[in-house]
Structure 1
């Protein structure tokens, strides 16, 4: 059995993170000691490691909760259910990457248009582009 600090240390997280997962119903202590300490089993440690790995690849708490419910009831779910969750997340990441690429291109255009000198910013091309109503800033693909 692990107490909260021991489990947190074993999983290289802090106690507050563990309490946060408890508060969000991702993990529940198996029992409490006579003095009220939370007690966790090896199974609880495995669940916490599952949570941390899922968070590590970008799943939200809600998505982790969904994955955990499938993990607990593997026989009642299909592999396709898990793959669907992963594919939805992958599509979201790909959309965000495309958006970041557009941001990068826009920022690069702004940076390239500016001399970056020590003169007054009264005629700064970056500020002018951000003030204008034209499409000088955004670069849609």
Structure 2
């Protein structure tokens, strides 16, 4: 199995020989992962996967790792990992679900990333982003 883990944006590591589960709701013949993207301080999210190759053309020369996936499986990896699925070659749609998990002590750093414009106007730098259970519910809390 292959495990993908990110300590930080500067240290995105591909760790082999660790347990890792890859999953998708609908069948995906394979996903491709870049083995390392630790030279970039911040990767902007574009509307299309190929936008990353325009922003960072050197990625075209980097090897990718294929990860075959079956319907009902899951992939657990850092959101900073450059990844994507191949084209849907079926006549039907391909559904997927994403879940982001973060420690409950996270504070807003002022960067928009995936936040909406409305969220950007409501959040304050240096304040917890978890002060609204309707948007960011706490799923698990360790009892002391």
Q: Same fold (TM over 0.5)?
A: no
Higher strand share: 2
Given the two structures, how large is their TM-score scaled by the length of structure 1? 0.21
Higher RCO by CA contacts (8 Å cutoff, separation 6 or greater): 2
Higher helix share: 1
Which structure would you say has the larger Rg?
1
Given the two structures, how large is their TM-score scaled by the length of structure 2? 0.21
